[in-house]
């Protein structure tokens, strides 16, 4: 890999992880999710980086993709299990990392299940290893704690301006004999659950979108919002709350988002739901000559 690109990837990974820890430390019972999101995203910007995607704060059976809405009043409860997922961005190079905060203190083993699965996966990754073998290590670590891996979520390739690039790294042995290759940049992302079903579904809640293409819309509000999105968020996913000041009305903003989505101009990334409590751990790595280097670390 080009040395300049590798240097930036390391910088992005470092800031991604620092921001993640900032978010972790702000998560307390009674704290507003919106405050945590805004301060975490602001931290990346203060460091001179963009956001690869909005901060995700998914609670309990929410697996991923919950980010606060415009004026969100939701606060953390004393028994919440919070998945914190974030990545910084620079020159189109993206970070991605996640951890779980257990405010209840009752799910230590479930949190450890996803964390130990991540460690096992990182230990197993090197050129020539099959994707299925890493998936098997993740599954083994989670099941050793008495829980189940989420089957239809997993790791993914990370390319320039593309957070979920083609490659899928399973959280179980799915039979994929694709081999890890040197210089691959991968986000490894185990999810563990105590639910009866280890599959997730899309919910009807959505506050994260990405620009899918340019098209025609009828309303002036939708056109105005599309101009702002095209100018500021034409590559990475964005939160609807980032657009709160454009139209000056929450109702008008969501109505315009709906019109743009119905016309295929925006792609929604809805909140994902499971059937039990879910934990997550994630790190971004680059495959090296004999193993892998964790990029999302301090």
Which residues form the catalytic set? 85, 96, 156, 164, 189, 282
Is 197:275 a contact under the CB 8 Å cutoff? yes
Across 2-114, the runs of DSSP E, i.e. the strands, are 50-59, 62-64, 81-90, 93-94, 97-102
Round to whole Å and give the CA distance between 43 and 22.
Answer: 8
Structure tokens, 154 = 């997993």
Nearest of 97, 96, 63 to residue 81 by alpha carbon:
63
Phi/psi for 34 (5° steps) reads -60, -40
Nearest of 188, 195, 200 to residue 281 by alpha carbon:
188
DSSP 17-54: HHHHHHHHHH--TT-BHHHHHHHHHHHHHHTT-EEEEE
Report angle CA 285, 148, 297 to the nearest 5 degrees: 20
Q: Which residues of 7-45 are buried (b: 16+ CB within 10 A; e: fewer)?
A: eebbbbbbbbbbbbbbbeebbeeeeebbebbbebbebbe
Round to whole Å and give the CA distance between 253 and 185.
Answer: 36
Residue 180's SS3 state is coil
Is 11:293 a contact under the CB 8 Å cutoff? no
């Amino acid at each position: 890999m080009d040395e300049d690109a590798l240097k930036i990837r390391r910088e992005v990974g470092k800031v991604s992880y620092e921001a993640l820890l900032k978010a972790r430390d702000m998560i307390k019972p009674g704290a507003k999710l919106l405050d945590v999101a805004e301060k975490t995203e602001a931290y990346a910007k203060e460091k001179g980086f963009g956001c690869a995607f909005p901060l995700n704060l998914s609670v309990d059976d929410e697996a991923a993709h919950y980010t606060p809405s415009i004026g969100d009043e939701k606060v953390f409860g004393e028994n919440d299990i919070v998945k914190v997922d974030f990545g910084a961005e620079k020159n189109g190079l993206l970070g991605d990392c996640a951890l779980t905060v257990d405010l209840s203190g009752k799910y230590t083993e479930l949190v450890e299940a996803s964390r130990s699965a991540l460690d096992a996966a990182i230990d197993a990754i090197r050129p020539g290893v099959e994707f299925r073998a890493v998936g098997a290590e993740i599954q083994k670590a989670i099941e050793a704690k008495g829980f189940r891996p989420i089957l239809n979520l997993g790791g993914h390739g990370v390319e320039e301006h593309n957070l979920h690039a083609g490659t899928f790294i399973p959280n179980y042995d799915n039979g994929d004999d694709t081999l890890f290759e040197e210089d691959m940049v991968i986000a490894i992302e185990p999810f563990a659950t105590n639910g009866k079903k280890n599959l997730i579904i899309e919910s009807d809640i959505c506050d994260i979108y990405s620009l899918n293409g340019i098209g025609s819309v009828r309303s002036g509000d939708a056109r105005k919002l599309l101009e702002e999105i095209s100018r500021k968020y034409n590559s990475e996913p964005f939160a609807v709350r980032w657009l709160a000041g454009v139209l000056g009305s929450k109702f008008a903003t969501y109505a315009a988002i709906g019109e743009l989505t119905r016309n295929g101009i925006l792609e929604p990334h809805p909140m994902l739901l499971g059937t039990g409590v879910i934990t997550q751990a994630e790190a971004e790595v680059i495959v090296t000559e004999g193993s892998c280097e964790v990029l999302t670390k301090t």
